[in-house]
């Protein structure tokens, strides 16, 4: 019965998605109502509403992905244009990269630039026209059809997965209705029933065109919360899908959680903060007290991002679960993370020569970690604070890694970065105080440090470069006072700064 319902509704969903894509930017509430009226006789009013809503959400997701693709193409075009404008073999600097290494590479990249420009023009034209490209069932699975041997699938196995992915069996909930959903209904004792579409109503085994499944449904995760919503007739959305690898049917329940009121930053940081440094294979965490001092030992939460999508998602959830449990044990009410976005840095053109580095930053699930952490922390009452990621790793290693190193504790660069992230969330300076020059230690001038006070704007920025030669880099006899170096009343090597010298004391009075 589930196969019949999924296949019938899946064909309707494919047709409705095609109609939604044809409407493009001309879509309106009137066209939406027309599509829903056309689907109602061959399904039901609620099934038609679920199908049209899913089609609209899929089109909106494709539009967002299209915009991201255009931005990536623009970043690649800008990078290649800059490199092509530089002479061949010119070395780059920290501010800007240099030219290509050889004339052959320059020629290959110039051809690559024309390809990217053509793709960018086509993508922009599609976006202006409202045209999107959507494959129901997934583009990756569709391409796997041409590489069955590499995927380890037979033609029949691939066909089964393809049909299962294109089925449609999901329904949104309705508050006030029985058990929160009239289309796919699950009672508190686990009895599941489905409202059959109109062409399949003759197969019903319950009144009002419903079909009751033989099995019982149970939710191991958040089962108590689900039971409370069902008992109160609050909206619960359900989705039924088939796992062709295990030959099992799964029912997924979801509901909307009301937004939690935002806490003031002072209340969130009342018991300290935990700084988190995201890496390709682990989360480096360190707890800081209210004064910004690291307490205890650093913690690392590892995860493995190889394998399938479900495996990677499970690894991320497991690492974040351990992190939140540790935060609750410590009594900390806030977690500080970096607001990272490698969207423009993952392009092939920007780090084409550094393939391993490009793979590293592409493997870091910054967006998924941030989204998962925000949703999971909301349930535990922990506030997530996003900070500016500028110089956290560099200043953390420079000012915190060595002072925190002991005979029994060897913090890494990532642990020091976690301290810097936590201090920035607390609005404390990252760079530690250093001893001022001897001339600035007297009581007359007052104690001075290399850091600015908390009220000074831009104190976390880089220090401006002072023009002119440095004292340490100027050799003897070449500075501004080189002419009188040998006239100083001091034995040994001559110095450059005469103001540091002192007249010799008389041997007798």
Q: pLDDT tens across 306-348, in order?
A: 877 788 888 888 999 999 999 999 999 999 998 876 555 556 6
pLDDT for the residue numbered 339 = 84
Residue 171 β-bridge partners: 238
pLDDT for the residue numbered 508 = 43
* Rounded Cα gap, residues 139 and 478, in angstroms: 68
Q: What's the residue count for the chain?
A: 509
Residue 336 φ then ψ, to 5°? -105, 130
Beta strands in 18-113 (DSSP E): none
Torsion, Cα 310 311 314 320, to 10 degrees, reads -130
H runs (alpha helix) in 215-331? 223-231, 265-268, 309-330
Q: Which of 2, 12, 49, 60 is nearest to 172 (CA)?
A: 49
Which helix H or strand E contains 184, and what residues bound it? strand 184-186
**Strand bridging mode 334-338 / 383-387:** parallel
Structure tokens at 59: 């089109």
Beta strands in 228-278 (DSSP E): 237-243, 248-254, 273-278
pLDDT for the residue numbered 488 = 39
Could you tell me the residue ranges of all domains in the chain? 2-132, 169-254, 265-425
**Collapsed DSSP state (helix, strand, coil) of residue 45:** helix
Name residues of the chain where pLDDT drops below 50: 443, 471-509
- Whether residue 16 contacts residue 57, with contact meaning beta carbons closer than 8 Å, is answered with no
User: To which residue do tokens 């009075």 refer?
Assistant: 509
Which helix H or strand E contains 336, and what residues bound it? strand 334-338
Contacts of 224-229 with C-beta under 8 Å, sequence gap 24+, read 226/253, 226/255, 227/188, 229/180, 229/255
pLDDT for the residue numbered 343 = 56
CA 141 remoteness from chain centre: 25
pLDDT for the residue numbered 370 = 76
Residues whose CB falls within 8 Å of the CB of residue 199, separated by 6 or more in sequence, listed in order: 8, 42
pLDDT for the residue numbered 486 = 42
Decide: residue 430, CB within 10 A, 0-12 exposed, 13-18 middle, 19+ buried. Answer: buried
* Rounded Cα gap, residues 343 and 72, in angstroms: 7
* Rounded Cα gap, residues 443 and 424, in angstroms: 31
Residue 300 β-bridge partners: 284
Task: Supply the angle between the helices 2-23 and 155-166 in degrees, to the nearest 10.
Answer: 70
H runs (alpha helix) in 400-491? 413-425
Which helix H or strand E contains 127, and what residues bound it? helix 103-129
Decide: residue 23, CB within 10 A, 0-12 exposed, 13-18 middle, 19+ buried. Answer: middle
Residue 206 DSSP code: B
pLDDT for the residue numbered 487 = 37
Q: What DSSP string describes 253-266?
A: EE-PPPPPPPPPHH
Domain 265-425 has CATH 3.30.420.10: yes
Q: What pTM was computed for the model?
A: 0.72
Structure tokens at 299: 């913690």
* Rounded Cα gap, residues 413 and 231, in angstroms: 51
pLDDT for the residue numbered 361 = 60
Residues whose CB falls within 8 Å of the CB of residue 419, separated by 6 or more in sequence, listed in order: 275, 286, 288, 294, 396, 400, 404
* Rounded Cα gap, residues 341 and 365, in angstroms: 10
């Amino acid at each position: 019965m589930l196969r019949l319902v999924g296949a019938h509704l899946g064909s309707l969903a494919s047709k409705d998605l095609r109609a939604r894509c044809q409407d493009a930017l001309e879509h309106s509430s009137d066209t939406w109502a027309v599509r829903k009226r056309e689907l109602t006789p061959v399904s039901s009013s609620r099934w038609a509403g679920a199908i049209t809503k899913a089609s609209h959400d899929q089109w909106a997701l494709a539009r967002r992905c299209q915009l991201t693709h255009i931005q990536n193409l623009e970043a690649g075009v800008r990078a290649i244009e800059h490199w092509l404008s530089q002479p061949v073999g010119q070395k780059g600097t920290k501010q800007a990269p240099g030219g290509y290494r050889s004339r052959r590479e320059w020629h290959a990249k110039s051809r690559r630039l024309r390809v990217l420009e053509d793709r960018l023009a086509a993508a922009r034209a599609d976006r202006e026209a409202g045209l999107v490209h959507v494959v129901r069932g997934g583009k990756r699975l569709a391409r796997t059809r041409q590489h069955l041997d590499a995927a380890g699938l037979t033609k029949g196995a691939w066909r089964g997965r393809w049909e299962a992915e294109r089925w449609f069996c999901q329904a949104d909930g309705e508050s006030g209705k029985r058990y929160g959903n009239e289309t796919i209904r699950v009672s508190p004792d686990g009895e599941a029933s489905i409202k059959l579409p109109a062409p399949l109503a003759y197969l019903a085994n319950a009144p009002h065109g419903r079909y009751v499944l033989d099995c019982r449904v149970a939710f191991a995760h958040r089962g108590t919360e689900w039971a409370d919503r069902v008992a109160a007739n609050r909206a619960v959305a359900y989705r039924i899908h088939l796992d062709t690898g295990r030959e099992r049917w799964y029912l997924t329940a979801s509901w909307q959680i009301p937004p939690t009121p935002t806490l003031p930053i002072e209340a969130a940081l009342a018991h300290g903060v935990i700084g988190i440094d995201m890496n390709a294979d682990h989360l480096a965490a360190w707890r800081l007290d209210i004064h910004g001092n690291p307490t205890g030992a650093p913690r690392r939460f590892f995860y493995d991002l190889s394998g399938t999508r479900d495996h990677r998602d499970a690894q991320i959830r497991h690492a974040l679960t351990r992190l939140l449990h540790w935060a609750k044990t410590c009594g900390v009410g806030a977690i500080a993370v970096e607001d990272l976005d490698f969207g423009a840095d993952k392009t092939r053109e920007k780090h084409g020569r550094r393939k391993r580095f490009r793979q590293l930053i592409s493997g870091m699930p910054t967006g998924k970690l941030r989204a998962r952490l925000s949703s999971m922390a909301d349930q535990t009452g922990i506030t997530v604070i996003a900070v500016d990621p500028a110089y956290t790793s560099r200043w953390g290693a420079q000012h915190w890694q060595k002072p925190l190193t002991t005979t029994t504790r060897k913090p890494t660069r990532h642990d020091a970065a976690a301290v810097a992230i936590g201090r920035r969330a607390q609005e404390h300076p990252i760079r530690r105080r250093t001893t001022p020059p001897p001339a600035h230690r007297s009581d007359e001038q007052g104690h001075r440090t290399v850091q600015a006070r908390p009220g000074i704007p831009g104190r976390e920025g880089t220090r401006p470069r002072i023009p002119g030669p440095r004292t340490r880099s100027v050799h003897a006899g070449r500075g501004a006072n080189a002419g009188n170096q040998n006239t100083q009343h001091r034995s040994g090597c001559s110095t450059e700064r005469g103001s540091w010298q002192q007249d010799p004391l008389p041997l007798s009075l």
